[in-house]
Amino acid sequence: MKHLSAGQTAELRSELEHALSKLQKSLVVSDQAVRPVELDQTAVGRLSRMDSLQSQSMAKGLRERETVRLALVRDALKRIDDGTYGLCAACGGEIAFERLMVFPESPTCAGCSG
């Protein structure tokens, strides 16, 4: 990561650590949201049960995206320690600092992310 200065790397590392703690917190919350919907006929009417099934599936989709991002963030932090951070996993080229500021967890350059 020669194209990144120590200051830039430190900035990106703090971005990643911030994202990591945010994602971990959010995943704990969504853990509760994806629990099986209670099928209590008396307490919950048919409509509100469908509502909760719908919001459950939305929570699942969000959770999947967050899980993917969490893995990328963890991987990026590991690559900072390895000294390979900022290099495209596909073409080996340098990932622009500007792109990393927007997607600090990105493993590929703008050209390869398609």
Catalog residues that contact Zn ion under the rule CB under 5 A: 88, 90-91, 93, 109, 112
**Least Å distance between CB 103 and Zn ion?**
13
Nearer to Zn ion, 37 or 112 (CB): 112
CA distances from 51 to 28, 45, 47, 55, 56 (A): 22, 10, 6, 6, 8
- Alpha-helical (H) ranges within 34-108 are 46-82, 97-102
* SS3 state at 94: strand
Structure tokens at 69: 């991002």
Q: What is the nearest approach in angstroms of Zn ion to the Cβ of residue 79?
A: 14
Please provide residue 103's backbone torsions phi and psi, each rounded to the nearest 5 degrees. Answer: -125, 75
Smaller CB separation from Zn ion, 83 or 111: 111
Which CB atom, from 44 or from 93, has the smaller least distance to Zn ion? 93
Q: Least distance in Å: CB of 100 to Zn ion? A: 13
Q: How near is the Cβ of 70 to Zn ion at its closest, in Å?
A: 23
C-beta of 3 vs 25, nearer to Zn ion? 3
Structure tokens at 60: 């699942």
